[in-house]
């Protein structure tokens, strides 16, 4: 984007002291400022990489949280492990593209995906979303995230708490990415890892109890984004029918 090229150039050349604070624009000013800057010609040799505006060090934040998750997540988290975080990050990135999310907001969604289950470093299921937000508020300021952006990220994380409660598109994207597997071909294999994890933490009984729970959960769940309503919801409904047929055979 022209705005980002100009912004990065001004920061690197130190043309105006304090320009970084001026250029920390609220999201709602993005389009207006982009239009203003697009009227002028600026050097384009300092394009930001990895979809990251220069005042948010997304890559450093990503390295920080992935290292923390690798070091501190319990081996008993067969579902909520690092692999789940990376899967949610991948699907959230794809949903941002298909839903037409801006560059700035894509970085926020990707950051929220990386931190959304960070509360599991406390090795407990209840309240892990709130624990993750504590970590977000403690750690992200050092990576250049503004207070407004941090609260947006925490809003996305809290929206994933079951039952999901998204109130805007970014929250809908993270919620759908978090449970994307419900409408994918790996539904049963991933579901098995969740069953194993819940058993390890003594949160569920036998397989029949698990399958009844899956029927109830799938009945109540709805995808939120236009993309997943189209791609995932029909597949999920087929899995629900299969599980209903199985549960019907139980005495």
How does pLDDT run along the chain (251 residues), one tens digit per residue?
Answer: 433 444 443 344 343 334 343 344 343 333 333 333 333 333 333 333 455 545 899 999 999 999 999 999 999 999 999 999 999 999 999 999 999 999 999 999 999 999 999 999 999 999 999 999 999 999 999 999 999 999 999 999 999 999 999 999 999 999 999 999 999 999 999 999 999 999 999 999 999 999 999 999 999 999 999 999 999 999 999 999 999 999 999 97
* Residues shown for the chain: 251
SS (H, E, C) 152-205: HHHHHHHHCCCCCCCCCHHHHHHHHHHCHHHHCCCHHHHHHHHHHHHHHCCCCC
Task: Tell me the domain boundaries of the chain.
Answer: 2-37, 58-247
CATH superfamily of 58-247: Hypothetical protein af1432 (1.10.3210.10)
């Amino acid at each position: 984007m022209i705005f980002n090229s100009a912004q990065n150039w001004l920061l690197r050349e130190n043309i105006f002291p304090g320009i970084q604070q001026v250029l920390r624009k609220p999201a709602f000013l993005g389009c207006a400022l982009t239009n203003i800057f697009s009227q002028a010609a600026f050097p384009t040799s300092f394009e930001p990489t990895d979809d990251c505006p220069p005042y948010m060090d997304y890559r450093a934040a990503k390295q920080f949280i992935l290292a923390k998750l690798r070091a501190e997540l319990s081996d008993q988290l067969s579902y909520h492990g690092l692999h789940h975080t990376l899967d949610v990050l991948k699907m959230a990135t794809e949903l941002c593209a298909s839903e037409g999310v801006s560059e700035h907001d894509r970085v926020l969604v990707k950051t929220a995906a990386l931190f959304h289950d960070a509360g599991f470093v406390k090795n407990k299921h209840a309240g892990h979303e709130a624990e993750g937000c504590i970590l977000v508020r403690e750690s992200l300021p050092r990576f250049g995230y503004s207070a407004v952006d941090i609260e947006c990220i925490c809003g996305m994380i809290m929206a994933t708490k079951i039952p999901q409660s998204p109130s805007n598109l970014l929250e809908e994207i993270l919620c759908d990415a978090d449970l994307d597997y419900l409408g994918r071909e790996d539904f049963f294999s991933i579901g098995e890892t969740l069953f194993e994890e819940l058993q390890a933490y003594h949160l569920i009984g036998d397989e029949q109890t698990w399958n009844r729970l899956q029927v109830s959960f799938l009945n109540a769940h709805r995808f939120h984004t236009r993309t997943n309503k189209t791609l995932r919801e029909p597949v999920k409904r087929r899995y629900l029918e299969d599980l209903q047929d199985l549960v019907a055979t139980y005495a």
